[in-house]
Amino acid sequence: MKKALFLDRDGTINEEVGFLHEVEKIRILEGAAEVIKKARQKGYLIIVISNQSGVGRGYFGIQEVEKVNQGIKSILGKEGAGIDAFYFCPHSPDDNCSCRKPSPGLFLKAAKEWDIDLSSSLCVGDRVRDVEAGIRAGIKQGFLLLGDMEGESSKLKDLLLDKQQGPRVEVIKNLREILPKL
C-alpha cells in the first residue's frame, strides 16, 4: 500500500479568493510547490480533496472546477511538483452528501482507487473540516494552516488531542512546517 499527502485546494495550495472558477485567478501559495515536490521525493502520492460548493450553488459548472484543477496541476508541474489526482465535492452544504468534508467519503474513495494506507498518510487544510475529514477516514496526523480561524477554534478542540495516541492535528503557520514530518 502507498502513503499519500492529502491537501485541500483553496487556502492550502492556492490563495483563497472565494469560489475560484477562473484559471487566471490562480495564485499558488508560497511553499506549496516545495512541499509537494519534497513529499513526492519521499514517496507520497499527492491527492487534492476539496469542497466546491459553487457548483451546487449554481455559481459555475464542473468544467470550470476541472479547468482550475488542471491549471493548478500545470503551474505546479512546471516546478516539478506533480499532483496525482484531484477529488472534489460539487454539492452545496445543504445537500448532506457523503463526499463533502468533514465527511470522509472522498478520502476513502481515493484510498480505494490508489491503494493508499490512510494510517501512514498525512492531510493538510486551512479549515477544521479539511483535517477532520482526514482524521475520520483514518489518517493519524493532520495539519491545520492558520488563516481565517474565526469560528474554527471550538471545532478544533476535539480534534487536537487523542488521549490515547497524542496530538492528531498540529496547527501550523506555513505549509513548509510539515517538511520535517514527511
Q: What is the pLDDT of residues 32-58, one digit of tens each?
A: 999 999 999 999 999 999 999 999 999
Host domain of residue 147? 17-31+45-114+130-151
Residue 125 lies in a domain: no
Residue 95 lies in a domain: yes
Residue 165 lies in a domain: no
Give the separation between CA 148 and CA 23, rounded to whole angstroms: 23
Angle, in degrees to the nearest 10, between helices 32-41 and 62-77: 70
What region does 66 belong to: left with phi over 0, alpha with psi -120 to 50, or beta? alpha
Residue 162 lies in a domain: no
Q: How many domains does the chain have?
A: 1
Q: What is the pLDDT of residues 111-144, one digit of tens each?
A: 999 999 999 999 999 998 999 999 999 998 999 8
**Catalytic residue positions?**
8, 10
Give the separation between CA 147 and CA 126, rounded to whole angstroms: 6
Residue 79 · residue 32 · CB < 8 Å: no
Average pLDDT for the chain: 91
